[in-house]
Structure 1
């Protein structure tokens, strides 16, 4: 199905409009970097690939905006591991900002 996708900047999430519900990915944007923090697919839509659809559309949106990605959400991190073609979006110096 071709679900409607958009970046809801007011709620700070990417949303995928399903027939009677919304799947979403929460995010934080700071200094040209986007942090994807949580992905949620409504009950009744789990196991149908909805999570993969919204992550892929979010990544396309992030790429089009020229943002760097920090995948804090475990589902997004798993998607990136399975789809290494997106690795150029991931912020490379993530450990550089951590002090010991």
Structure 2
């Protein structure tokens, strides 16, 4: 593992995930499923050797910025992504929430 280097994130659509690399090594990934106009984030993982280095945050920020650029919404099934969105209110507008139906008389 490389001890130096910035986190470089890119989408790997053939694997349905975003990947983070540090020093050329795969440091983490966030898996998704495209469902219409929504990206469903199902699982995020950071390799133990890279934990505590901002990999998960960089990965999530990149993925959500991409969601915004593509005009999509995000459904965070993954607890990490959901928690990240809740801690960063500037991304709250991307979170998909089901609409409640008005009461029917």
Deviation at 1:95, TM superposition (A): 6.8
Task: Give unpaired runs (5+ residues) of structure 1.
Answer: none
Task: Give unpaired runs (5+ residues) of structure 2.
Answer: none
Which aligned segments of 4 or more residues in structure 1 are displaced greater than 4 angstroms? none
Name which one, 1 or 2, has greater alpha-carbon Rg: 2
TM-score, normalised via structure 2 length: 0.83
Q: Map 1:1-100 onto structure 2 (within 5 A).
A: 1-19=5-23, 20-93=25-98
Deviations 1:43-80 (A, max 9, x none): 11111221111111111111101111100000011111
Q: Give the paired residue count.
A: 96
CA distance in 2, matches of 1:42, 1:49: 12
TM-score, normalised via structure 1 length: 0.87
Contact 2:9 2:58 in 1 (8 A): no
CA distance in 1, matches of 2:76, 2:100: 13
RMSD: 1.6
